[in-house]
């Protein structure tokens, strides 16, 4: 009878079940635990163990909060590329460092402006970069020369090729351009889709 008289509060549900099996395997006179009561007791101990495990676990989100990096100071915005007005149009450009351009092409690098193909047509050329194979990243600008001109304007981005100390490229409308650097300025040659030829001097622009 003493074996079935009570249970320690820290005994697990598994230990209770094992005890109950042993107790009830004994002669009927010493098995004093009703089956229903034993079932209720097992459920109670299982619920208590689950609650203890949940209390031991950290609260949701605490680990994430501990791993969260401290707020960083805002980074200064990147420097904006330069821009200028050419032929009544604002042009944004970026010139590569001269040290990054092969020496034989450095004379082409830069801004060349204040040119006019004719009294009505303004033009400017920006050579932003030149690769070792002679491929040049360029911006070609044209527009009205003076307030009385009705010539439409445009800013064209593209790639030219430098061969035999001359930069050449072609527009989508079939216009062909050739530029050759001089002692100070750049000499330009334009052939329009009609085959008409024009010459102009493009000045070095700091």
Q: pLDDT, tens digit, for every residue of 134-157?
A: 999 999 999 999 889 999 999 999
Least reliable range by pLDDT among 15-24, 161-170, 176-185: 15-24
Distance, in Å, from the CA atom of 35 to the CA atom of 44, rounded to the nearest integer, reads 14
pLDDT tens figures, 28-51 = 443 444 444 444 444 444 444 444
Q: What is the mean pLDDT of residues 160-171?
A: 97
Give the pairing type, strands 121-130 and 135-144: antiparallel
- The answer on pLDDT for 66 being more than 80 is no
Token look-up 């089956």 returns 35
pLDDT tens figures, 195-206 = 999 999 999 998
Least reliable range by pLDDT among 42-51, 82-91, 176-185: 42-51
pLDDT for residue 75: 53
- The answer on pLDDT for 2 being more than 50 is no
pLDDT for residue 56: 44
The more confidently predicted of residues 62 and 84 is 84
Average pLDDT, rounded, for the chain:
76
pLDDT band, very low/low/confident/very high, at 79 (cuts 50, 70, 90): low
- The answer on pLDDT for 128 being more than 50 is yes
CA distances from 196 to 76, 118, 159, 174, 175 (A): 51, 12, 23, 12, 10
pLDDT band, very low/low/confident/very high, at 24 (cuts 50, 70, 90): very low
The verdict on pTM exceeding 0.75 is: no
- The answer on pLDDT for 92 being more than 60 is yes
| DSSP, residue by residue, 36-75 | HHHHHHHHHHHHHHHHHHHHHSPPTTHHHHHHPPPPPPPP
Structure tokens at 145: 């020369």
Give the pairing type, strands 110-118 and 166-170: unpaired
Cβ neighbours around 166 below 10 Å, total:
15
- The answer on pLDDT for 175 being more than 90 is yes
Distance, in Å, from the CA atom of 70 to the CA atom of 68, rounded to the nearest integer, reads 7
pLDDT for residue 145: 93
């Amino acid at each position: 009878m003493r074996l079935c008289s009570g249970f320690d509060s820290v005994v697990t549900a598994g230990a209770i079940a094992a005890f109950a099996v042993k107790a009830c395997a004994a002669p009927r006179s010493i098995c004093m635990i009703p089956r229903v009561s034993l079932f209720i007791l097992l459920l109670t101990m299982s619920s208590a163990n689950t609650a203890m495990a949940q209390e031991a676990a950290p609260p949701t989100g605490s680990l994430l909060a501990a791993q969260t990096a401290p707020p960083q100071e805002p980074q200064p915005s990147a420097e904006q590329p330069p821009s200028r007005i050419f032929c009544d149009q604002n042009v944004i450009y970026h010139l590569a460092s001269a040290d990054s351009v092969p020496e034989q092409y450095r004379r082409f690098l830069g801004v060349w402006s204040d040119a006019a193909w004719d009294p009505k047509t303004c033009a400017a050329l920006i050579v932003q970069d030149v690769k070792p194979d002679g491929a040049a990243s360029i911006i070609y600008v044209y527009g009205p020369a003076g307030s009385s001109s009705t010539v439409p304007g445009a800013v064209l981005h593209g790639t030219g090729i430098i061969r035999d100390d001359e930069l050449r490229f072609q527009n989508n409308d079939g216009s062909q351009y050739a530029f050759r650097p001089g002692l100070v300025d750049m000499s330009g040659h334009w052939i329009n889709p009609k085959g008409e030829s024009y010459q102009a001097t493009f000045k070095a622009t700091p």
